[in-house]
Amino acid sequence: MNAVQRLFGFHGGVKPAYNKEAATGLPIAVAPTPTLLVIPLHQSIGGIPRPLVKAGDRVLKGQRIGGADGNVSSAVHASTSGTVVAVEMRLMPHTSGLSALCVVIEPDGRDEWIPRQPFDFRSATPTQTRDYLRDTGVVGLGGAVFPSYLKLNPGKLGKLHTLVLNGAECEPFITCDDLLMRERAETIIKGTLIMREMLSAGQVLIGIEDNKPQAIAAMEVAAQAANAAAGDSSIKVVPVPTRYPAGGAKQLMRVLTGIEVPHGKRSTDYGLQCFNVGTAYAIYEAIALGQPLISRIVTVAGNVERARNYEVLLGTPMRDLVALCGPLPDTDRVIMGGPMMGLLMPNDEVPVVKAANCVLVGSRKLFPPPPPEMPCIRCGECAKVCPSDLQPFEMYWFSRAKIFGKAQEYNLFDCIECGCCAYVCPSRIPLVDYYRFAKSEIWARELENEAADVARERYEFRLLREEREKQEKAAKLAAKTAAGREKAAAALAEVEQPAVTPEQDAKKALIAAALERARVQKAQAHPENTSNLTPQQQAEVEAIEARRAEIREMAKPHLRQDD
Amino acid sequence: MTSYLFIVLGAVLVNNVVFVRILGLCPFMGVSKKLETAVGMGAATTFVLTMACGASYVIDRWLLIPNQLEYLRTLSFIVTIAAIVQLTELVIQKTSPLLHQVLGIYLPLITTNCAVLGIPLLNVSLRHNFLESLLFGFGSAVGFTLALILFAGIRERLEAADVPIHFRGTAIAMITAGLMSLAFMGFAGLDKYK
Amino acid sequence: MFEAILVMALGAVVLGAALGYAAVRFRVEGDPLVEKIDAILPQTQCGQCGFPGCKPYAQAIAKGEADINCCPPGGDEGIHKLADLLGREFKSLSAEHGIEKPKSVAVIDEQRCIGCTLCIQACPVDAIVGAAKQMHTVVAPQCTGCELCLPPCPVDCISMQPIGESVETWKWKYPVFKINPTQREAA
Amino acid sequence: MTRQDRDLLVNNSPYFLQPASVQSVMLRVLVALLPGIAAYVWFFGAAILVQILLASVTALAAEAVMLKLRGKPLMMFLGDGSALVTAWLIALTFPSIAPWWLTVFGTLLAIVVAKHLYGGLGQNPFNPAMVAFALMIVAYPLLMSQWPGVDATDFAGQWEAIFGSRQLDAMTMATPLDALRTVLRDPEQRAVIAGLLGKHATFGNVGGRGWEWIAAGYALGGLYLLQQRIITWHMPVAFLATLFAVSGAFALYEPDRFAGPGFQLFTGGAMLAAFFIVTDPVSGATTPRGKLIFAGAAAVLTWIIRTFGAYPDGIAFAVLLMNIAAPLIDMYTQPPVFGHKDKRGDSP
């Protein structure tokens, strides 16, 4: 330890049984290539990538099969060489049990790479780097799968004071980061140096929970080596107290720097950025080796005989992985992620995706169904453990009654769904389920309101257009009739002229002149009227257009960037 | 000085217009569903009630009593209050649209608030002078506002409670009002302490 | 007796005059209520309420000419919001105006479309693109599902298709509430 | 396994929970009341046990009927122990020789009106036991002021008082609080009582004989609850400290008119209130700051009503008054949310 790093706490948190020993006994093994790879196109936050291949195509290992779509999106790649069998709807590793577009690849066993070459980010423009990272599909591997190219941007400050590397791994059972740090610390540090350069960051703080002494030691060695090479001590490995959820990005940043990044704000605005250690590893592979993200380390643990960490090709069915570890007979479910925040999978055939840090095998014995839910007695235990300093019982109270406005007043959207509140609740209320329910209802409603606003604008614009068309038509008609009448009057005057006396003639001429003036005035008035009105209306129309454009702009970042 | 303080405090707590005198229940039940509306209604009532107490004192003292027309008291007070409310609304609507947006829809409701008639009449029977009338009116209105706000706080929470179906809405609100009234009985005797 | 009448008359005259003056002096135009009502309405512009759009319906509600339960796309939730805003009692959706349906979008069968532009003219939000004698198509994100394009189509080539659930739009369900059996049914 | 089955059978994350239950919380509260009850029996006889039994049976019966009527699972809620806590608090705040129907009636009101009409456990805005006490003392002020004399532990007599029709004036006496009020209101007797209070200010005499031992018993139970982390320090400390400060200040200012803090803390239901009544999480404030405000204000109100009001002990009214304010207190004392703690955090 170079210097004693001052640590800050965070509010709340719990200490569940960690159960990490089972999977740390053996080194990371490479999982065999399955007979069929199912690669979902949508594996990150943001837009759904467009498929770039079709059934029958031959693909190489690392070939892009899904192109990033939109400002927030990340590409996907073939995990091995083979033939595309289908591009079709397949069951997603998602609690909903719904399907989405996947590329199904039959491996040919040759494992043939695309040509790979390092990317020289130092001589590339920021846009090139951005596009390269987007197209290599690197996303946050801690579970949030936020595209990394969006985070590798120093933001409006231009540089950062601290780059935080998240090796806390606070969830029980999960050990993939632990093993990665033990075995590949040097590569992680190399990736970190690349990220630091991209972000112009000052120091690097690597936060690791103090229940992983081997990982801390390995990382310490690698960090010292890097520090020695650079001749400074800017990379620090900081053991942090073991308390769930110390590995939450916001919680870890607070523990290491004392800075709290509020919900909906970018951490770069506070001079900070945080990456998972696995992401640092993937960045190194992408930049220095030219390899896109096609595999990840996955912990297989829980109700199995031999829990272990595997390096798994993305798209491998979870069943294959579980089979490697010998599931116990009473296995009844597969969970993606840990026991505190993991998602229940619809079945065990769903593929491993970029978000899958752990395949947790469960049974009724291991994770017994909770006793019946009792009413909330407002004991406040949940508020004591909430790492976001929320009032979970109030949020629950209003979410339960579907009074979403009030739930939002209690900052529902600052909730990170860590599950601490439900973990301690003496009434055994599935609190997080209520928050998820309320959040998705509110999102749905917001989308509805946005759609209604667009519809209103369009409807009003249409009314305005119809009105304008009507007036233009009327003006044209009026001009036509005015011209016609003038002609007729002239003809009439010609016919009548010889029959009149000079006095009458003078009188008539006067009247005719007056009529003529009136006519001219009238005729002039009409076009004038329309030409006066149209710019005015035009301005209104333009204002509406501008507003619509604004709304369209506003709608864009509405992609929920929750990490 | 102390006696004035006692008038205000007595009107706010000990003889709370809603919980002890049981006046002004329609707006108390009607506009206490949300905290914001309760605050708006309270502010509007405070303004009108203080004005009404002053105006009715003037009418009583300088018009009705000299002409031995005390039997017209109720009638003339109602007319005066109605006029004050309407006038206030019109003036606020023009001069301060913001305030009107806050108080707007509650102002006309105040006309039918029996507390606004009851307090001026109580002023007469308690033989308050002009200043005392104003203070009593103000204190009662603050008491009304307090009752309204506290009630709104509870109702916002009650809205989400698992109340048996037959007691939802007004029924449970009435029970709650009753229990609040019971709590305010604890202040009994405070104004008589020597 | 005479005095009483005199006093009351005096009061009536004075206060009446004051009110009358104030009413003229402090007149205010405009009605912000319509905007608030319009903000609650779903902007489907379907006309099921009997008015030619959401705004006219909002105006009618504000004037008291229409009831709050005439908007099927808004559903019970919309009626609840209107009742809250206007301080009225909740009423269930009036059957004569239609029933609440799942949200859908219009889809034009491109094989059968003859390009008559009648649906384009009917669409209240200009969500159908196309020109005379050319095939038309519906811009799905802008379609409000009002069904106004269905009747004018001479070849019945437009159908309504409910919007399906995807992983992105999937909603977490209300937690199974094990205490109150009635609530479980409701959820 | 179909999706529906899975949704019903298996919960979402978190998949494992800390062992804790409402039942165990309530049971520990009951245990914590035992030392106080023991002292009660020692000084005032076994009548209190009869009252506890009466109240418990009534509460469980009322709870069962209401659960049945509302179609809720019976055993799950009967077993949660919350009705028993309410019942014991009613028995302990009512006079131990109150007629049986007074206790039964009060308990019924507490369980049926104050608890189940609001939706049962966890939903009541008012403390049920305090609703019962306030209603009864308003309706039957005389019966609610008949307390057994110290050491009048003759059980037969007490039994007669509870279930018989005979008035037992010989046995009853006013509580020290009541006696003090009466005396302090008579200017001629003030000097006498001041002398008495001054002379006998040793433990055992500060709050009237017997009463301070019961209070000490409650305090012991309260410490157990604190140690078990069922209650936090905020409420008891705020309540006792405020009561101490207010009564102390006034006693210093005019010692022959106002009773001192020792008396205030150890008499009536002050200790019971500090550890068992204001700490009721359902009807009280829940945020840390809210708890301090709630309990502090309850103490001030208690002192005001005790000193100036018409009722002998102000705790029930003070708690009910603060129950009314609790939702607002909670609303305005929410601790700042993560990331929103300082202005700087919101600015960029």
Who has greater pLDDT, C136 or A335?
A335
Q: What is the pLDDT of residue C30?
A: 59
Cα A185 from chain centroid (whole Å):
28
Residue B6 within any structural domain of the chain? no
The pLDDT confidence band at residue A533, using thresholds 50, 70 and 90, is very low
Distances (CA, A) of C60 to C56, C67, C85: 6, 8, 15
Q: What is the pLDDT of residue A51?
A: 93
The pLDDT confidence band at residue A548, using thresholds 50, 70 and 90, is low
Percent of chain C with pLDDT over 70: 91
Select from D69, D309, D316 the Cβ nearest to the Cβ of B188.
D309
Residue C135 exposed, middle or buried by CB count within 10 Å (0-12, 13-18, 19+): middle
Q: Chain A: which residues have CB within 8 Å of chain C?
A: 42, 48, 92, 94, 96, 98, 100, 372-375, 400, 430, 433-434, 436-437, 439-441, 444, 448, 451-456, 458-463
The pLDDT confidence band at residue B27, using thresholds 50, 70 and 90, is confident
Select from A100, A448, A458 the Cβ nearest to the Cβ of C126.
A458
Residue B69 within any structural domain of the chain? yes
Residue B4 within any structural domain of the chain? no
Q: With an 8 Å Cβ cutoff, are C179 and D72 in contact? A: yes
Decide: helix, strand or coil at residue A312: strand
Q: How many residues does chain A have?
A: 563
Per-residue pLDDT of chain D (348 residues; tens, 9 = 90+): 334 444 444 678 888 888 888 999 999 999 999 999 999 898 888 889 999 999 999 999 999 999 999 888 888 888 889 999 999 999 999 988 888 999 999 999 999 999 999 998 989 999 999 999 999 999 988 888 777 766 566 777 788 778 876 555 545 556 666 666 666 666 555 555 555 554 444 455 555 567 888 899 999 999 999 999 999 999 999 999 999 999 999 988 887 778 778 888 887 788 999 999 999 999 999 999 999 999 999 999 999 998 888 887 889 999 999 999 999 999 999 999 988 866 444 433
b (16+ CB within 10 A) / e for C21-32: ebeeeeeeeeee
Whether B179 contacts chain D with CB within 8 A: yes
Residue B136 within any structural domain of the chain? yes
The pLDDT confidence band at residue A529, using thresholds 50, 70 and 90, is very low
Q: What is the pLDDT of residue B39?
A: 85
Q: With an 8 Å Cβ cutoff, are C171 and A444 in contact? A: yes
Decide: helix, strand or coil at residue A30: strand
Q: With an 8 Å Cβ cutoff, are C28 and B94 in contact? A: yes
Residue B81 within any structural domain of the chain? yes
Residue A234 DSSP one-character state: -
* Annotated domain spans of chain A: 21-325, 441-558
Query: Which of D113, D324, D330 has the highest number of chain B CBs within 10 A, making it the mutation to test binding with B?
Result: D324
Which residues neighbour A288 within 8 Å (Cβ) at sequence distance 6 or greater?
Answer: A118, A190, A194
Q: With an 8 Å Cβ cutoff, are A401 and B157 in contact? A: no
Q: Report the pLDDT averaged over residues A323-349.
A: 92
pLDDT for A174 beyond 90: yes
Residues of C in contact with B83 (CB under 8 A): 15, 18-19
Name the average pLDDT for chain B.
Answer: 86
Q: With an 8 Å Cβ cutoff, are C7 and B72 in contact? A: yes
A246-260, A434-448, D246-260 — which is least confidently predicted?
D246-260
Select the highest-mean-pLDDT range: A412-421, C168-177, D303-312. Answer: A412-421
Q: How far apart are the first and last CA of chain D?
A: 50
Q: Report the pLDDT averaged over residues A446-457.
A: 88
Select from B35, B162, B192 the Cβ nearest to the Cβ of D120.
B162
Strands (E) located in A232-282: 235-240, 272-276
Q: What is the pLDDT of residue D344?
A: 43
Question: How far is D77 from chain A, CA to nearest CA, in Å?
Answer: 8
**Dist. CA A387–CA A427, nearest whole Å:** 20
C-beta separation of B130 from B116 below 8 A: no
Q: With an 8 Å Cβ cutoff, are C180 and D72 in contact? A: yes
Q: What is the pLDDT of residue D192?
A: 52
Residue A111 corresponds to which tokens in the numbers above?
A: 């494992």
Name the average pLDDT for chain C.
Answer: 81
Strands A295-302 and A272-276: unpaired
**What domains lie within chain C, and their CATH numbers?**
32-97 (1.10.15.40), 102-187 (3.30.70.20)
Whether C45 contacts chain A with CB within 8 A: yes
Q: What is the pLDDT of residue A557?
A: 45
Whether C24 contacts chain D with CB within 8 A: no
Q: With an 8 Å Cβ cutoff, are A260 and D123 in contact? A: no
Q: What is the pLDDT of residue D183?
A: 61
Who has greater pLDDT, C11 or B149?
B149
C-beta separation of A428 from D23 below 8 A: no
- What ipTM was assigned to the predicted interfaces of this complex? 0.86
pLDDT for B152 beyond 60: yes
Query: Which of A459, A464, A467, A552 has the highest number of chain C CBs within 10 A, making it the mutation to test binding with C?
Result: A459
Q: What is the pLDDT of residue D313?
A: 81
The pLDDT confidence band at residue A90, using thresholds 50, 70 and 90, is very high
The pLDDT confidence band at residue A369, using thresholds 50, 70 and 90, is confident
pLDDT for C183 beyond 80: no
Classify the phi-psi angles of C49: left when phi > 0, otherwise alpha if psi is within -120 to 50, otherwise beta. Answer: alpha
Question: Residues 132-171, chain B: which have Cβ within 8 Å of A?
Answer: 156-157, 159-162
Question: How far is D176 from chain C, CA to nearest CA, in Å?
Answer: 46
Who has greater pLDDT, D263 or A531?
D263
Decide: helix, strand or coil at residue A14: strand
Who has greater pLDDT, A25 or D211?
A25
Distances (CA, A) of D118 to B174, C184, D123: 12, 20, 6
Cα A513 from chain centroid (whole Å):
75
Specify the CATH number of the domain A21-325.
3.40.50.11540
Residue C30 corresponds to which tokens in the numbers above?
A: 């405009």
C-beta separation of A388 from D337 below 8 A: yes
Q: Report the pLDDT averaged over residues C154-170.
A: 86
Q: What is the pLDDT of residue C169?
A: 84
A457 closest CA partner among C125, C109, D127 = C125
Cα C143 from chain centroid (whole Å):
16
Cis amide prior to D14 (ω within 30 degrees): yes
Q: Report the pLDDT averaged over residues A177-182.
A: 95
Residue B2 within any structural domain of the chain? no
Whether A378 contacts chain B with CB within 8 A: no
Helix D100-108 crosses helix D82-93 at what angle (to 10 degrees)? Answer: 140
DSSP per-residue codes, chain B: -HHHHHHHHIIIIIT-TTTTS---HHHHHHT-SSHHHHHHHHHHHHHHHHHHHHHHHHHIIIIITTTT-GGGHHHHHHHHHHHHHHHHHHHHHHH-HHHHHHHTTHHHHHTT-HHHHHHHHHHHHTT--HHHHHHHHHHHHHHHHHHHHHHHHHHHHHTTS---GGGTTHHHHHHHHHHHHHHHGGGTTGGG--
Residue B17 within any structural domain of the chain? yes
Q: Report the pLDDT averaged over residues A354-367.
A: 92
Select from B156, B182, B187 the Cβ nearest to the Cβ of D134.
B182
Question: What is the interface size between B and C, counted as CB pairs within 8 Å?
Answer: 46
Question: How far is C180 from chain D, CA to nearest CA, in Å?
Answer: 6
pTM of the complete model = 0.85
Distances (CA, A) of B20 to A74, B12, B192, B194, C150: 67, 10, 15, 21, 63
pLDDT for C184 beyond 50: no
Residue B157 within any structural domain of the chain? yes
Distances (CA, A) of A221 to A2, A218, A238: 12, 5, 13
C-beta separation of B170 from B29 below 8 A: yes
Q: What is the pLDDT of residue C53?
A: 85
Domain that holds residue B103: 12-192
Residues of C in contact with A434 (CB under 8 A): 175
A526 closest CA partner among A469, A483, A479 = A479
